[in-house]
Amino acid sequence: MDRPVSLKKLAAHLSLSPTTLSLVLNDSPLASTIPQETKDRIFEAAREFDYRPNFIARSLRSARTYTLGVLVPELSDGYSAMVLSGVEEYLLKEGYFYFVASHRHRADLIERYPRLLLERCVEGLIAVDTPVTHEPPYPVVTVSGHHDIRGVTNVLLDHRQAAKLALEYLTQLGHRRIAVIKGQDFSSDTKVRWETIRDEAGRLGAPIDPSLVAQLEGDLPSPETGYVAAQKLLASGKPFTALLAFNDVSAIGAIRALQEAGHRVPEDISVIGFDDIYSAAFHNPALTTIRQPLREMGWLAAEHLLKRIAGGPDAPFLEAVMVEPELIIRQSTAKAREIGARD
């Protein structure tokens, strides 16, 4: 097999300096000073000779790996996948590679994976719905992290505004008997989301009855968790006209349980989800939800992490980056009816 062509040989073939080729092929900001015709020649020759940069040599010269680590609870669920798509989009634009590890909320993996990623020379870490409880040895940005840890930037949703949007909308529709499905204990957002919902409901004169609160159980990112939680709410015997679910996946499962029990959605019971995952708009009925800008949150996490890496350990950085929710009204909500009333 022929040896790959080197940057030096490719430059000699084009009668250009290796520095010029390096600027163009690495998409350096200084490449903007090089004529487009020259860039086209370089890319054409690189394709012709199947030139591949020597990553190891580049890393040794610069003491950089241009590689990040990303920790997520689960790769197959809608929340992590949408955040990761934003991370990926930004890193591809900036020429960075990344490793992804899913810990499935196991404490041993949450503790071990950051060390393993550090051993693989990542320059920083993005932790999605993953607790970071002590000061890290490299730059870290969390998405939905709620611990104030020195050296960590948190990308957060305004949960109080999210609760206000959902509950003002439901009370305007006449709902006063509102059930809630809380998240699992291990989820970073469970505590703050429940507290803001409880407080906002009280402010609006529609306090949440404790017997109309169920909690998701298990770590599978499946609608089954919401299905089981809704069954428990129905088994309580307490009537309700609206249900606010922890996320869209659980809302979809809850709707199935309500329908199987003979309740129409939204005619008898309105349902609101949270996140606005891709499938929310295509469920039947299409799901009303509180949209988290998940792709934007992933993009912001990657952007702030690279800024911190570029700035060095002593550079100032933001400890929190807040994003705003949005109410997306679809077909799973309607005006409240009297308890027990049917057409």
Tokens 């298990």 appear where?
218
Residue 181 · residue 226 · CB < 8 Å: yes
**What is the Rg, in whole angstroms, of the alpha carbon atoms belonging to the chain?**
25
What does the pLDDT average to over 150-170? 95
Pairing of strands 288-291, 326-328: antiparallel
What b-and-e string marks burial along 97-112, b requiring 16 or more CB atoms within 10 Å of the CB? ebebbbbebeeebbee
Confidence bin at 77 (pLDDT 50/70/90): low
- 90 alpha carbon, distance to own chain's centre: 14
Per-domain residue ranges for the chain? 7-53, 62-157+294-322, 159-292
Confidence bin at 1 (pLDDT 50/70/90): very low
Residue at 68: amino acid letter? L
CA distances from 67 to 97, 99, 121, 269, 284 (A): 5, 8, 7, 48, 41
pLDDT digits (tens, 9 = 90+) for 164-205: 999 999 999 999 999 999 999 988 899 999 999 999 999 999
pLDDT digits (tens, 9 = 90+) for 237-278: 999 999 999 999 999 999 999 999 999 999 999 999 999 998
Pairwise CA distance, residues 248 & 280, whole Å: 7
Confidence bin at 293 (pLDDT 50/70/90): very high
- The reported pLDDT for the residue numbered 173 is 97
pLDDT digits (tens, 9 = 90+) for 294-343: 999 999 999 999 999 888 877 888 888 999 999 999 999 999 987 655 54
Confidence bin at 136 (pLDDT 50/70/90): confident
- The reported pLDDT for the residue numbered 28 is 67
- The reported pLDDT for the residue numbered 62 is 47
Q: How many CA atoms lie within 13 A of 167 on its CB side?
A: 26
Protein fold of 7-53: 434 Repressor (Amino-terminal Domain) (1.10.260)
Residue 278 · residue 317 · CB < 8 Å: no
pTM of the entire predicted model: 0.79
What is 159-292's CATH number, 3.30.420.40, 3.40.30.10, 3.40.718.10, 3.40.50.2300?
3.40.50.2300
Tell me if domain 7-53 and domain 159-292 are identical in fold. Answer: no
Confidence bin at 99 (pLDDT 50/70/90): very high
**How many other CB atoms are there within 10 angstroms of residue 51's CB atom?**
18
- Which residues, in sequence order, are bridge partners of residue 271? 243
pLDDT at 34 over 50: yes
- The reported pLDDT for the residue numbered 57 is 52
Confidence bin at 4 (pLDDT 50/70/90): low
- The answer to whether the Cα torsion of 204, 206, 207, 210 is positive or negative is negative
Confidence bin at 117 (pLDDT 50/70/90): confident
User: Which is higher by pLDDT, 95 or 229?
Assistant: 229
Pairwise CA distance, residues 164 & 327, whole Å: 10
pLDDT digits (tens, 9 = 90+) for 39-74: 999 989 888 888 776 654 554 444 577 889 999 988
Domain 62-157+294-322, architecture per CATH: 3-Layer(aba) Sandwich (3.40)
DSSP string spanning 318-331? -SEEEE--EEE--S
pLDDT digits (tens, 9 = 90+) for 200-235: 999 999 999 999 999 999 877 889 999 999 999 999
